[in-house]
Amino acid sequence: MNFCVKCGANTVYKVPPGDNQQRFVCRLCGHIHYENPKIVCGCLVRSNDQVLLCKRGIEPRKDRWTFPAGFLERHESTLEGAKRETREEACADVELDMLYAQFDLAYISQIYQFYLADLIGSYAPGDETLDVRLFDEKSIPWEQLAFPVIRKSLESYFSDRDRGRFTFRHFEIPNRASWTSI
């Protein structure tokens, strides 16, 4: 962030008066540029005893399998965002059940929220998706999943399904190494 969004002058990275963190501050007009974590929302879509996965058509993790999910947009709730991403990436409508999993990934300043959702009707690959399929537990491509949040969510899901009760799961992941211990 080299330039001020308000006046176009150069910024300096410093602690503003009365603050305790470094921010990009405009040298000319003093505007403070706050940067905040982003929310990623998506759906763990069920259909009968299968779950829907999308094969990514773009980097990162192209050709790997993931949930339909993406960055929450302005003026959107996480419920709306999760449904929109599912429409965009899997051309699928869903009915949301519950907020099922949250992952606080501090090391990349992202908060993930996945909803349990039920498939309504058909599905097909969206623009950034190579393939969409329903998998039963035995056929999940565990070695070809795109991200650890997907693996952990699926493990939680099948575990909860087997015990007959779904509860909200919350995971705090301070760094990449933490994934090996959860």
In this complex, which beta carbon is closest to its own copies, that of residue 75 or of residue 163? 75
Q: Which residue of 15, 28, 37, 158 would you call a contact of its own copies, by CB under 8 A? A: 37
Residue 39 in contact with its own copies, rule: CB under 8 A: yes
Residues 35, 131, 136, 137: which binds its own copies (CB under 8 A)? 35
Selected from 25, 54, 72, 132, the binder of its own copies by CB under 8 A is 72
Distance CA 53, CA 33 (A): 37
State yes or no: residue 91 binds its own copies (CB under 8 A): no
Instruction: Report the alpha-carbon distance of residue 133 to residue 107 in Å, rounded.
Output: 31
Of the two residues 107 and 142, which places its CB atom closer to its own copies in the complex? 107
Stretch that binds its own copies, among 47-55, 97-105, 131-139, 140-148 (CB under 8 A): 97-105
Of 1 and 142, the one with the shorter C-beta distance to its own copies is 1
- Tokens encoding 19: 């603050």
Listed residue (152, 71, 170, 69) closest to 117, CA to CA: 69
**For residue 103, what is the DSSP state?**
E
Work out how close the CB of 106 gets to its own copies at its nearest, in angstroms, rounded to a whole number: 5
- Beta carbon of residue 37, minimum distance to its own copies (angstroms, whole number): 5
**117, two tokens:** 């959702």
Pair 51, 135: CB distance under 8 Å = yes
State the nearest-atom distance from the C-beta of 35 to its own copies, in Å: 5
Among 12, 13, 28, 71, binds its own copies (CB under 8 A): 71
Task: Mark the segment that binds its own copies (CB under 8 A) among 28-36, 43-51, 61-69, 158-166.
Answer: 28-36
Measured distance CA(43)–CA(98) in Å, rounded = 10
What stretch of H or E contains 148?
Answer: helix 148-163
Among 42, 64, 78, 152, binds its own copies (CB under 8 A): 78
**99 near its own copies (CB under 8 A):** yes
Element (H, E) at 70: strand 69-71
Number of other residues whose CB lies within 10 A of the CB of residue 53: 27
47-50-55 Cα angle (round to 5)? 100
